[in-house]
Amino acid sequence: MAEIHKIYSNNDGKIIYEEKKSIKKRERVNILYYRYGIPKEKIAKEEKVSLNFVKRWIQEEDMDFEKDDRGWPKGKLRKWDRKTIERIERIRKELERTSYYIGSTAIEMEWRKRYPEPPPPLRTIGRIVSELGLSTKDKKKRETGAARYLCYPEHTIYNLLGNRVIEVDFIGERYLTGGIGPLNFFGFSCKKPTKLRYYMRVEDQSSSELKRCLKYLIEEFERPHYIKIDNCAAAKGSLSGKRTISKVVLYLLEQQVIPIFSVPRRPFTQASIEGSNSVFSKKFWNRIDFKSLDHLDEKLEDFNEVTLRYKRYKRPEEPRKLDENFNPKIYFTRQVQEKEGSDVGYIKLVNEEIFVERKFIKYFVLAEWDLKSEKLLVRFEQEKESKIIKEIDFKINETTRKKCVGRIL
């Protein structure tokens, strides 16, 4: 791409980056597509624009790049009247006193309840809030890139496997004033539409409580195709038995929900639920002085209702039906470790060590255990493509098999 960028360099050799939707950006997208034959997806990635933006400006090779459909003078920012700004300021300050959520989305939702006129775009609301000095946006630098450079199978999980993936996890212990505790909570979250975020108070972090929460999710909300879950003892079961299937996993497979175990001690691979747990702390637990357990439960119910509205969650019109041809599988995301005193790497799952080539050490892989064929495939994702790097026979523990026959096998 360096050669292509030269056509937009100035005398100092520095690439001129025009604003996303400027005339130069439109023209560049068109040239990259027609003159250089660059695929649309790559243009969007390289130019940091949406795929829709690319499609819009490659409809014809000779387009009018100065076309302006904004409805206000070219070269000037749209001006919002004082009434609009005052409304946004009033809503924001009221939300700070009365609501768990105070961001642009919450302001837009409240605007629609109060006024017949449509609200400004979310980005405009955010800019106005910032200019009013009311923004509380976290300025911390985000740690990004590790998952991508170590080839975490994000695309495989959320696109190639397809369908609905919901992340679940226990939230760390909490204590109420007066020594009431420890209290345990459980959350589930889905980052793709329709987005979901919900919390439950649980007695402890046991397998029975985990199963109760999963049952509640399936019966009260939806039966997802996949559950992405942490490697806690309650979920994975036996700490020593090899190739066993826990009670929780067996329950999920009976419900035709395939579990995907996250990478141990790598919380960023559970980004959605980890972010959801952070929301629980900041917007709920740290904001309210709970008087009793009853008061806590009452407020938690209220918080969940507000959150579901805020995320615009919609339950499926019809529950997903069970498929007689369902193929039970278990997935494990793992980071390849170096085997001391050996020239190979390995991953550990269901108390077994699986060896892979040394070149994959430190990279992430996705192991797929097909319970019908009793085969284990280890997949490696690179540039959004998944390839099999290992295939072995992987028999189910005989004691476990007896529990599975007639239920999932």
**CA 373 – CA 329 distance, rounded (Å):** 10
Q: How far apart are the first and last CA of the chain?
A: 52
**CA 408 – CA 21 distance, rounded (Å):** 53
pLDDT digits (tens, 9 = 90+) for 68-82: 554 545 444 456 788
The angle subtended at Cα 191 by Cα 189 and Cα 195, nearest 5°, is 75
Instruction: Specify the pLDDT at position 146.
Output: 63
Query: Phi/psi zone of residue 235: left (φ > 0), alpha (ψ -120 to 50 degrees), beta?
Result: alpha
Q: Which range is least confidently modeled, 3-7, 138-142, 205-209, 287-291?
A: 3-7
The angle subtended at Cα 295 by Cα 294 and Cα 296, nearest 5°, is 90
Tell me the one-letter amino acid at 288.
I
The residue among 340, 349, 345, 341 whose CA lies nearest residue 394 is 349
Q: Which range is least confidently modeled, 45-54, 162-171, 306-315, 326-335?
A: 45-54
Instruction: Specify the pLDDT at position 333.
Output: 96
pLDDT exceeds cutoff 50 at 306: yes
**Residue 409: enclosing H or E segment and its boundaries?**
none
Q: Are 225 and 257 in contact (CB under 8 A)?
A: yes
pLDDT exceeds cutoff 80 at 145: no
pLDDT digits (tens, 9 = 90+) for 173-189: 898 877 777 899 999 99
Q: Are 195 and 311 in contact (CB under 8 A)?
A: yes
Strand partners of residue 99: none
Mean pLDDT is highest, among 118-132, 136-150, 164-178, 322-336, for 322-336
- Residue that wins the pLDDT comparison between 397 and 1: 397
**CA 38 – CA 47 distance, rounded (Å):** 12
Q: Categorize the per-residue pLDDT at 259 as very low, low, confident or very high, splitting at 50, 70 and 90.
A: very high
**Residue 4: enclosing H or E segment and its boundaries?**
helix 2-5
Instruction: Specify the pLDDT at position 76.
Output: 44
Token couple for 359: 């070149």
pLDDT exceeds cutoff 70 at 392: yes
pLDDT digits (tens, 9 = 90+) for 352-384: 999 999 999 989 999 999 999 999 999 999 888
Q: Categorize the per-residue pLDDT at 137 as very low, low, confident or very high, splitting at 50, 70 and 90.
A: low
pLDDT digits (tens, 9 = 90+) for 197-209: 999 999 999 999 9
Q: Look over the chain and give the mean of its residue pLDDT values, rounded to a whole number.
A: 85
Provide the CB-side half-sphere exposure for 389 (13 A, CA).
24
The SS3 call for residue 370 is: strand
pLDDT exceeds cutoff 80 at 149: no
